[in-house]
């Protein structure tokens, strides 16, 4: 099982949207996937509960024992962790469990600055694992036809972690699917939103090889 943790200790970065859509994109690419909701607020669990057909299996593990608890689950190709904001113990547990840490950052100076503590935790784990843990930023909630996405990518390079070429833009479809337990793929698999997430899944899986 490959574990991808979607983490940012600042709220509003689009973690749950990215986690649910990344899980669904991998599923549509033929992989078996489970989504782990480690946020005590249970946003991913609420998303899943709003659809009786539950497009992706979601399990709540909102305690700092994620690495151990994952071992008791049925094996899947991927486990995607939707991380909790403002919870250093849960973030540390998710990082310990992960093979890849994805850090979504909005195009805002406040979000860039807020990533500092999480980056320190990730870098410590990379050192402990002799580079086995991979990590990268993704620009999230980018606004089309602005330079902010490029500017935030340039600013993030100072942290010493790669910035993915994939971008996730702010789109009306995301809040509407959040309320119905669906994803952009289930509305229109050929939409720009769907293509962005297929590109993200492909870029991450290539980096994990």
All structural domains of the chain, each given as residue ranges with its CATH number in brackets, are 2-208 (3.40.50.300)
Q: Classify strands 78-82 and 33-37 as parallel, antiparallel or unpaired.
A: parallel
The SS3 assignment for 87 reads coil
Enumerate residues 6+ apart whose C-beta is below 8 A from 37. 43, 44, 45, 58, 59, 60, 61, 62, 82
**What's the rounded Cα separation, in Å, for the pair 60 and 197?**
23
Which pLDDT score is estimated for 145?
A: 67
- Residue 37: what are its φ and ψ, rounded to 5°? -95, 105
Predicted local distance difference test score (pLDDT) of residue 78: 98
From the number of C-beta atoms within 10 Å of its C-beta (0-12, 13-18, 19+), residue 29 rates as middle
Per-residue model confidence (pLDDT) at position 138: 95
What's the Cα-to-Cα distance from 83 to each of 35, 110, 172, rounded to whole Å?
11, 19, 23
pLDDT of residue 177: 93
Residue 12 Rama label (left phi>0; alpha psi -120 to 50; beta):
left
Q: Looking at residue 175, what is its pLDDT?
A: 93
Instruction: Give CA–CA dist 157/160, Å, rounded.
Output: 6
Distance of CA 190 to the CA centre of its chain: 21
The pLDDT tens digits along the chain (209 residues) read 999 999 998 877 899 999 999 999 999 999 999 999 999 999 999 999 999 888 999 999 999 999 999 999 999 999 999 998 877 899 999 999 999 999 999 888 888 888 999 999 999 999 999 999 999 999 999 887 666 666 787 888 889 999 999 999 999 999 999 999 999 999 999 999 999 999 999 999 999 98
Rg (CA), the chain: 16
C-alpha torsion sign, points 134, 137, 141, 143? negative
Tell me the pTM: 0.95
């Amino acid at each position: 099982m490959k574990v991808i943790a979607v983490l940012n200790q600042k709220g509003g970065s689009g973690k749950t949207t990215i986690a649910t859509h990344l899980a669904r994109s991998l599923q549509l690419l033929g992989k078996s996937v489970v989504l782990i909701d480690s946020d005590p607020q249970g946003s991913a669990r609420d998303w899943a509960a709003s659809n009786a057909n539950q497009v992706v299996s979601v399990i709540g593990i909102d305690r700092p024992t994620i690495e151990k608890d994952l071992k008791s689950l049925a094996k899947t190709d991927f486990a995607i962790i939707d991380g909790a904001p403002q919870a250093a113990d849960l973030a540390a547990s998710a990082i310990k469990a992960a093979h890849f840490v994805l850090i979504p950052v909005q195009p805002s100076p406040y979000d860039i600055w807020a990533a500092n503590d999480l980056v320190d935790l990730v870098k410590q784990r990379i050192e402990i694992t002799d580079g086995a843990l991979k990590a990268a930023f993704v620009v999230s909630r980018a606004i089309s036809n602005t330079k902010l996405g490029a500017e935030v990518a340039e600013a993030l390079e100072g942290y010493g972690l790669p910035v993915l070429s994939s971008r996730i833009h702010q789109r009306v479809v995301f809040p509407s699917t959040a309320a119905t337990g669906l994803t952009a793929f289930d509305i229109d698999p050929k939409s720009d939103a769907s293509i962005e997430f297929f590109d993200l899944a492909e870029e991450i899986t290539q980096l994990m090889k």
